[in-house]
Amino acid sequence: MSALIAGIRKGSFVVFGRAGMDMFADPPGTRADEADTFRADLGGSSANICAGLCKLGMQSALVTSVSDDAVGRFCTNRLRHYGVDTQYLKVLGGEARVSLAVYESCIEDFQLVIYRNNAVDFQVTEEDVDRVNYDNFGALITAGTVFAAEPSRSATFRAFENARAANLPVIFDIDYRPYSWPSAEVASVVLTRAGEESDLIVGNDEEFGFMAGSMDKGLAKARELAAKGKMVIYKMGHEGALTFADGEEIRTGIYPVTAIKPNGAGDSFMAGLLAAIAEGRPLKEAVLRGSACASMVVSRPGCAPAMPTTSQLNDFLAACSGPTDI
């Protein structure tokens, strides 16, 4: 566990996964199927984590592929706008495309449409991950969607090997998206392997339940992984989170807000958690700062643009009466 914390405290992260374009109906409250206007910005879970880390004063580099077209260049430009290192982005011609998410800022009957046919981010290869200079980073982060198809699945497991050789801890956001996988059975096997090979695992109760083979066994699965010396964060929505570390179980609440959408919370939580650990804050405070970031993102339009800066996060916390009691 000490190696995990030491790696995170370097404040520099190499992140594997996808960048995408988000289009969200404007103004907030407009249904996507009734909108005249949409705003566009960076999306994709790994890209969001990268942007969130940079906005909180950390360094991040994204390892992915983008399409050689206007949308791919848009995503690259937005990554650079947020301060993300793009030296490991590969630009691909052909028919593979960057993912597109179309949604709205309406919490009731929320609509999210994702276009991931022939997704270009699945085209990351072992050669791509071998190009990374792992010595420049303190930790590796990946979101689970990267394992949903080849060649990115094998490439990311190769990146895990490279990280271990460079003494980098591996941080895994389960991020299970059924639409990306060929079957639930394949997903369960692959995500379980990824969890076994990681040092910090973050997921919600449904995702751990999925890995365990039954929704009522998710908490037991989280405890099982923690018993192997891993740090595990088991998120339970409005009921807060359980953090397992060094034989302890830390229970934390959430910061209630008026949400306008559900997406982006997990990405912001991860960024806030890691940035707080990197700043040397105690683990419970770090989890709470991650929770505050999640609350801020669901109360604002978009994902990457909704990620808070450090000053915005501090202002939010100063104005709150505190997290819910659990």
The residue behind tokens 């807000």 is 257
For 194-204, write each residue's pLDDT tens digit: 999 999 999 99
CA 94 – CA 181 distance, rounded (Å)? 22
pTM higher than 0.85: yes
Q: How far apart, in whole angstroms, are the C-alpha atoms of residue 111 and residue 308? A: 24
**Closest Cα to residue 65, out of 122, 127, 7?**
122
Class of domain 2-319: alpha beta
| Dihedral angle of Cα 223, 229, 235, 239, to the nearest 10 degrees | 60
**Which residues of the chain register pLDDT less than 70?**
326
Angstrom distance (rounded) from CA 14 to CA 2: 19
What is the rounded distance in angstroms from the CA atom of residue 37 to the CA atom of residue 24? 9
Q: Does an H or E element contain 192, and which?
A: helix 184-196
Domain range list for the chain: 2-319
Q: Are 53 and 19 in contact (CB under 8 A)?
A: no
| Contact of 6 with 275, CB cutoff 8 Å | no
Give pLDDT, residue 279. 98
Distance CA 126, CA 157 (A): 9
pLDDT at 325: 74
